[in-house]
């Protein structure tokens, strides 16, 4: 039954929580209201049955013990059905009593009819039984049985009055009671359906949230794996590759008796290892590259060009690398700075290790709402379409270009690779600046990572 709104004068208008049973009922959920109605129904049945028994013994009669025994049987059957249904609803028993609901209702109704034939005092038990019919039977059969029971109540009251015609009270009372019971029962059924729909919706929402949580967790794990893969490729993998090349070069120098060159190359090995250790610690903590701490992007790229030349020379390669800056340098969001530095690190490492180039040029251009960076080399070149479609090799090579594309795409940027065998390579990157700023991307260039 829907909760009847309280009059404005009885509502809680202050900031304190409402007090009293009426206020608690008003704020209760549909399930709580249904529990209250069920308890009230069962309590009403028990009270009406007890009153009828008391009146039965007060009136006397030779068969009063027989009717009392029938009343006890009715009470036991009624109580057993309600207890079993409650325990099943709470998942405390595996037995499902709802399959025998119609049989239980038939027994309760039949016993009531027997008691009604013995004493008109049991007539008022019909009203709580009406609710059971409305709850367990389809609507039309329920209305038919309620009509028949109402007629039986009227007949019993007429017979008890001894009047030649049915008294008005014996007709109007049962009819109004039946009408009120039907309306209330239909409202209860509607509230019951609403509570069931809410329960199913809540269960579905809970399952959806759990599934969404699992999906988000899996997506987060995959995203973190991708991040670590990019960071490892662009820092540790390139650094370890440099260490291997420098170690071989130092070994050759020692074999040729050139100890100063070997010492210089070993010192560079130590510096490269220290730099990569710092990189590993920084991305494990989720921070930016240590090369950007206390330095602008231009300074970091200029330093990178210098270390690229030094590493190439230590490995016996004649590679010149220079940085060109177009436009007025501006503050950049931290993700943009990190992406450009990582792109330059990966691209110059490829130039040093694979391109056999004599020159490499990094061009950084500030275009107001965008920033671009081109990495050019005059090396052997390659076929971009084959590189883009080739799967990663077992040793991890071939991952760099895909990683770079994902990094740039994550910042709503674009990446273009222009190359041909024997004609060098250009890696062109374009990143928006305004989008990153509006997204609250991070400290601006030159600022510290917090």
**Sheet holding 425-432: strands in order across?**
320-326, 359-366, 370-377, 425-432, 414-419
pTM for this prediction = 0.44
Q: Are 121 and 50 in contact (CB under 8 A)?
A: no
- Which residues does 293 contact at the CB level (< 8 Å), separation at least 6? 448, 449
Beta bridge partners of 360: 321, 377
Rg (CA), the chain: 43
Three-state DSSP at 366 gives strand
Q: Are 335 and 441 in contact (CB under 8 A)?
A: yes
> Residue 398 corresponds to which tokens in the numbers above?
């071939």
Alpha carbons 28 and 36: distance in angstroms, whole number:
10
Q: pLDDT (tens digit, 0 to 9) for every residue of the chain, 450 residues total?
A: 333 333 333 334 444 444 454 454 455 566 677 777 778 888 888 898 888 888 888 876 677 788 889 889 999 998 888 888 878 777 777 777 778 888 999 999 999 999 888 888 888 888 889 888 888 888 899 899 999 999 998 988 888 887 888 888 888 888 988 898 888 878 877 777 887 888 888 889 988 888 888 888 788 778 767 767 766 766 777 777 778 877 888 888 788 888 888 888 788 888 878 877 777 777 666 555 665 666 789 998 998 898 888 888 877 788 999 999 999 988 888 889 888 988 898 889 888 888 889 999 999 999 988 999 999 999 998 887 766 545 444 444 456 677 788 888 888 999 999 998 888 999 999 999 875 443 333 333 333 333
* pLDDT of amino acid 292: 63
Q: Are 362 and 344 in contact (CB under 8 A)?
A: yes
* pLDDT of amino acid 363: 95
Angle between helices 64-89 and 30-59 (to 10 degrees): 170
| Best CA proximity match to 424, nearest among 371, 355, 372, 367 | 355
* pLDDT of amino acid 279: 72
* pLDDT of amino acid 243: 81
> Residue 76 corresponds to which tokens in the numbers above?
């036991």
* pLDDT of amino acid 437: 40
Alpha carbons 11 and 91: distance in angstroms, whole number:
38
CA 405, 407, 410 angle in degrees (round to 5)? 105
């Amino acid at each position: 039954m829907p909760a009847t709104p309280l009059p404005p004068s009885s509502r809680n208008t202050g900031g304190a929580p409402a007090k009293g049973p009426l206020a608690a009922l008003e704020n209760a959920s549909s399930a709580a209201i249904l529990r209250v109605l069920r308890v009230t129904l069962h309590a009403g049945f028990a009270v009406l049955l007890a009153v009828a028994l008391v009146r039965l013994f007060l009136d006397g009669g030779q068969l009063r013990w027989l009717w009392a025994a029938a009343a006890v049987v009715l009470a036991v059957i009624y109580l057993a059905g309600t207890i079993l249904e409650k325990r099943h609803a709470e998942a405390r028993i595996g037995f499902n009593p709802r399959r025998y609901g119609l049989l239980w209702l038939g027994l309760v109704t039949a016993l009531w009819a027997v008691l009604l034939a013995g004493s008109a005092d049991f007539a008022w038990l019909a009203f709580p039984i009406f609710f059971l019919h409305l709850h367990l039977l389809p609507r039309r059969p329920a209305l038919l049985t309620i009509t028949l029971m109402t007629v039986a109540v009227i007949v019993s009251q007429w017979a008890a009055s001894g009047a030649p015609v049915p008294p008005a009270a014996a007709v109007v009372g049962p009819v109004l009671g039946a009408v009120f019971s039907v309306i209330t029962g239909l409202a209860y059924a509607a509230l019951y359906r609403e509570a069931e729909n809410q329960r199913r919706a809540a269960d579905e929402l809970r399952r959806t949230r759990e599934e969404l949580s699992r999906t988000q967790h899996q997506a987060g794990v995959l995203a973190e794996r991708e991040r670590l893969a990019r960071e490892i490729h662009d820092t540790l993998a390139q650094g370890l590759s440099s260490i291997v090349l420098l170690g071989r070069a130092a070994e050759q120098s020692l074999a040729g008796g050139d100890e100063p060159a070997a010492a210089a190359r070993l010192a560079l090995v130590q510096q490269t290892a220290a730099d990569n250790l710092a990189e590993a610690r920084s991305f494990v903590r989720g921070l930016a590259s240590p090369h950007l701490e206390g330095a602008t992007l231009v300074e970091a790229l200029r330093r990178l060009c210098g270390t690229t030349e030094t590493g190439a020379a230590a490995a016996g390669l004649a590679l010149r690398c220079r940085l060109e800056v177009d436009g007025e340098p501006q503050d950049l969001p931290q993700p943009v700075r990190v992406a450009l530095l990582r792109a330059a690190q990966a691209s110059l490492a490829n130039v040093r290790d694979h391109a056999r180039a004599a020159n490499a040029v990094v061009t950084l251009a500030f275009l107001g709402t965008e920033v671009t960076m081109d990495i050019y080399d005059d090396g052997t070149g390659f076929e971009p379409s084959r590189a883009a479609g080739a799967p990663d090799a077992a040793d991890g090579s071939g991952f760099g270009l895909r990683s770079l594309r994902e990094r740039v795409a994550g910042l709503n940027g674009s990446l273009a690779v222009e190359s041909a065998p024997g004609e060098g390579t250009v890696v062109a990157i374009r990143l928006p600046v305004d989008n990153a700023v509006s997204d609250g991307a991070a400290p601006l260039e030159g600022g510290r990572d917090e």
